[in-house]
Amino acid sequence: MADRNSEECLFHGDRVQFHALTRGLKENRVIPKTYLTRLASAVCSCRRHKTNTSQLMTMDDLRHVMEHLEEVELPKMTLALRNCLRGIIKETHSLEQYGKTKLLYIVYNALVNSSFDELTYNSINSRPKPMPTTTDVQKQRMTKEQFVCMKNKRLSRKELVRQINLPMFGRNIKKFTESAEYKCVKQDYDNVKLFVWFCDKENTDFINSNQKKTAVKLYMKDLREFEAVKYKLVQIAEKIQTLQDTQREARKSARRAYRYYHDPTDFEPDFRSITDIALQVKESSESEYKKKTIKKKAKKSSILTGGHCMNCLAPFVDIHTSDRECRHHPGYIMNPKLVWSCCRRRCGEQKADHTMHKRTGCSTTQHNWRPHKKHQAKVVKDLFDESD
C-alpha cells in the first residue's frame, strides 16, 4: 500500500520506471543481482528508519557525482539506462530528495569504487541511535578493550607508577577488591586518579611458593599521597589476612575435635612420607577405576532360546532339562470326526497343543528342537519358472 508521500518516492511513485531502471542496471552490469534486490529498500523515502543523506555526502560531493556520471559513465551505457539516469540527474537539486540522491550515490560507488555498502542488509535496516543523555553516560561501563588500553597508557608512564607488596595471600585478591575499606580508599583518592593493578605474574609465583605476598602497581597523578595510600592498603590487606587465618584455624580445630570425639585412636599424628600417601591414593583410585570399568560379560544366548519341539510343541528351556521324554502323537487330527490318524483316539479340539500331546500321546521319542525364528534359514523363492 503506497504512503501519502508516494509521489515523491522514487520506488512507489512510478513502479514501471523503477523496474526499467533496475533492468538497465542489471544489463549494463552496474550492480550485481544479489545487491540489486535491495535497491528498492535502499532508495525508498517512505521508510520510517532510513539513513541521513547529509551523513553520506555534502552538496559539493553531490555535484561532483552528477558531473562524473554525466560526462564519464553515461556514454558507456545503453540508451534506455542513459536517458533514465539523465532524467534523474536533471531533477535532483538538493540532498532533501532522498531517493534520487541515494540512487546516484549508490551508482557512483558501484562504478568508481566497486563498493555496495549501502545495499547490505545491516546498513538498510539499521535504526538511528538516539543521542545518549547524561544519566546514560554515567551508567555506561568501560569495555574490556577500553580498560586494557587505559591500563597500558597509565602503566607506560613509569615516573607515576610505584610497585608495592601487600602482606596478603594472593588468592584473597577478590575479597580485597570487594571490601568496603578498599572502595572508600578509591573514592577518597579519586582526585589524584588512583589506579590499582595486581601483577598476575608475580602473584602466581608467590602463590606457588606459598608466600603471603601480593604484588600491586599503583598509578597516581600526585605522588605526594603515595605513602598515605600505601599505609591504608597495607592495613586493609593485614585485616583480611588475619580474618582468613582465624577462620582457617577455627575450621582445623573443629575438624580435630570431631575426629577426637568420634574415634580417639584415629587422632594419632601421621608420620608417613608424602610418597607413601601418594602411592596409597594411586592404588585406591586404580581399584575404584577397575570396579567401575570392568563389567561381567553376559552369557551368549543359544540359537534354541525361544524355540520349541517340533513333535510335542514344548517350549525350549534348557538343553540339559530333566524332562527328556517327548510324548506326542506322530499323526494329525482328522476332521470332522476329530480323531488322531495315528492311534484313532478321539480328541476334543481341532488344534493340538503341548498339554494335549503330553497327556494323550501315543508315541515316545526324544525332543526335536526347532531354533528361534531369527536363527532360521531364509527361504529364497525361485524367480524363474523352470517348468516346461
pLDDT tens digits for range 56-75: 889 999 999 999 998 988 98
Contact 66, 32 (CB under 8 A): no
Alpha-carbon distances, residue 89 vs 58, 100, 103, 118, 212 (angstroms): 16, 8, 10, 19, 77
Angle at 109 between CA 39 and CA 22, to 5 degrees: 30
Q: How many CA atoms lie within 13 A of 139 on its CB side?
A: 5
How confident is the prediction for the chain on average, in pLDDT? 81
Q: Tens of pLDDT along the chain (388 residues)?
A: 444 444 578 888 888 889 999 999 999 999 998 899 899 988 998 888 788 888 888 999 999 999 999 898 898 999 999 999 999 999 998 888 899 999 999 999 999 988 888 888 777 877 655 555 555 545 567 788 888 888 888 888 888 999 999 999 988 999 999 999 999 998 898 888 888 889 988 999 998 888 999 999 999 888 888 999 999 999 999 999 999 999 989 888 888 877 766 655 544 455 556 667 667 777 777 777 666 665 555 556 677 787 888 888 888 888 777 677 899 899 888 887 888 889 888 887 888 888 888 888 899 988 888 887 666 665 544 444 444 4
pLDDT for 273 equals 62
Contact 352, 313 (CB under 8 A): yes
Q: Name every residue whose Cβ is closer than 8 Å to that of residue 79 and which is 6 or more positions away in sequence.
A: none
pLDDT tens digits for range 321-351: 767 789 989 988 888 788 888 988 888 788 8
pLDDT tens digits for range 12-21: 888 888 999 9
pLDDT for 265 equals 53
Cα(97)–Cα(59) distance, rounded to whole angstroms? Answer: 12
In percent, the amount of the chain with pLDDT more than 90 equals: 23
The full set of domain ranges for the chain reads 10-125, 145-245, 308-375
Contact 17, 87 (CB under 8 A): no
| CA of residue 118 relative to chain centroid, distance | 32
pLDDT for 371 equals 80
**CB burial string 358-381: b at 16+ within 10 A, e below:** bebbeeeeebebbbeeeeeeeeee
Cα(56)–Cα(50) distance, rounded to whole angstroms? Answer: 12
Q: Which amino acid is at 175?
A: K
Q: 3-state SS string over the chain?
A: CCCCCCCCCHHHHCHHHHHHHHHHHHHCCCCCHHHHCCHHHHHCCCCCCCCCHHHHCCHHHHHHHHHHHHHHHHHHCCHHHHHHHHHHHHHCCCCCCHHHHHHHHHHHHHHHHCCCHHHCHHHHHCCCCCCCCHHHHHHCCCCHHHHHHHHHHHHCCHHHEEEEEECCCHHHHHHHHHCHHHHHHHHHCHHHCCEEEECHHHHHHHHHCCCCCEEEEEECCCHHHHHHHHHHHHHHHHHHHHHHHHHHHHHHHHHHHHHHHHCHHHHCCCCCCHHHHHHHHHHHHHHHHHHHHCCCCCCCCCCCCCCEECCCCCECCCCCCCCCEEEECCCCEECCCCEECCCCCECCCCCCCHHHHHHHCCEEEECCEECCHHHCCCCCCCCCCCCC
